[in-house]
Every structure is written in C-alpha cells, then in structure tokens.
Amino acid sequence: MKIIAVIGNADDSHISKKVIRIAYEVGEEIAKSGSILLCGGMGGVMKAACRGAISKKGMTVGVLPFLNKNIANRFVSIPICSGMAIGMRDNIIIHSADAIIAIGGGSGTMGEIALAYMYKKPVIAISGTGGWANKLEGKYIDERKKTKIISAKTAKEAVRLALRGGNK
C-alpha cells in the first residue's frame, strides 16, 4: 500500500476555489487508488484533500504539530500528535511518504519540498495551483540535480505519477 503526502497552503483564506477543488480531487484519486493520504492534518489544501479522500472511503493520516489532536481537521481518520512545532513535523511526513504531491504552497510547503528533494523523494507539483508548486514544477532546486520536481496538469495525473514513484 502506498502512502502519498499532500502538501500546500494551510490557510483557507489564501486559497482559491480552484485550488480547493484540485486538492479535493487529489484526495479522491488517492482513495480510489487504495493508497493512504498523509498530510499535516490541518486546514486549507490538507483539509480539502482529506475531505476528498473520505468521500471515497479512503484513509487519511494527519501529522499534527504539538500535542493537541483536536486541531486536526474533521476529515483526518488518524491524527498523530507529533509534539513538534510546525516545520519540524515535516520530517515525519516526508520520510513516511512514498511520494509527495504539492498543491500551491508558501514557505512551509517550500521547506517540505526541499526536504523531499534532499532525500530524493518524488515530488509532483500540480500546474496552475500557484505558490511553490508553480515556481518549481519541472525544475531542480539546485545544481546537484538530485531529483526534478515533476509537473502534473490534473489531480488524476499527479496521483498516477505518485504511484509510479514519479516516473512518467
């Protein structure tokens, strides 16, 4: 069984309806594939993706900052209280995932993408979702060229690529 992490903006006020729809569709596709959706368990992209997965009877895991499981969005099946601040818990998310799907994203998302890059984890960035996903799609982060950030146009394509370990 594959574990696919979904990363992106956590703040609903910074996300368009289009990005929410795409995140929801990513969650649906992860659930339909029989994979587990892993995320930070809070709002924004994470909540929309979890909601999509739950709508298809999928399993969602949220690695939460600190020690309060009540901060998880209501679509998290299994909340994990990391006891770590936001940013530090990224290690658990990235190292536990077989692949990462980036949808938009700000500085926190960039940190997760950089960590995945360092450990050569496949990162699939969905085009047209803004943020770091748009800035990095199809690129290497630095001159070491550890692994290219893969570009996907749709939720279905992103999940297909994630299941293939980033191979087209």
pLDDT digits 0-9 by tens, 89-125 = 999 999 999 999 999 999 999 999 999 999 999 999 9
- Considering only CA atoms, which of 67, 90, 91 is closest in space to residue 79? 67
Q: In this predicted structure, what is the pLDDT of residue 14?
A: 80
* pLDDT digit string, tens, across residues 74-85: 999 999 999 998
Identify which has the larger pLDDT, 167 or 106: 106
Q: How far apart are CA 84 and CA 82, in angstroms?
A: 5
Q: In this predicted structure, what is the pLDDT of residue 125?
A: 98
Is residue 148 scored above 70 in pLDDT? yes
Unique residue bearing structure tokens 């499981």: 69
Is residue 168 scored above 90 in pLDDT? no
Radius of gyration of the CA atoms of the chain, in A = 14
Q: What is the chain's length?
A: 168
Locate the domains of the chain by residue range.
Answer: 3-163
- Using an 8 Å Cβ cutoff, are 62 and 91 in contact? no
Instruction: Please give the share of the chain, as a percent, with pLDDT higher than 70.
Output: 99
Please report the DSSP string for 141-152 in residue order: SSTT---PPEEE
Instruction: Please give the share of the chain, as a percent, with pLDDT higher than 90.
Output: 92
CA-to-CA dists, residue 115 to 4, 69, 79, angstroms = 15, 25, 22
Is residue 1 scored above 80 in pLDDT? yes
Tokens (6 digits) for 159: 């999940």
The CATH number of the domain covering residues in 3-163: 3.40.50.450
Is residue 12 scored above 90 in pLDDT? no
Q: In this predicted structure, what is the pLDDT of residue 13?
A: 82
Q: What are phi and psi of 95, to 5 degrees?
A: -70, -25
Convert 77-89 to b/e letters by CB count within 10 Å (16 or more is b): eebbbbebeeeeb
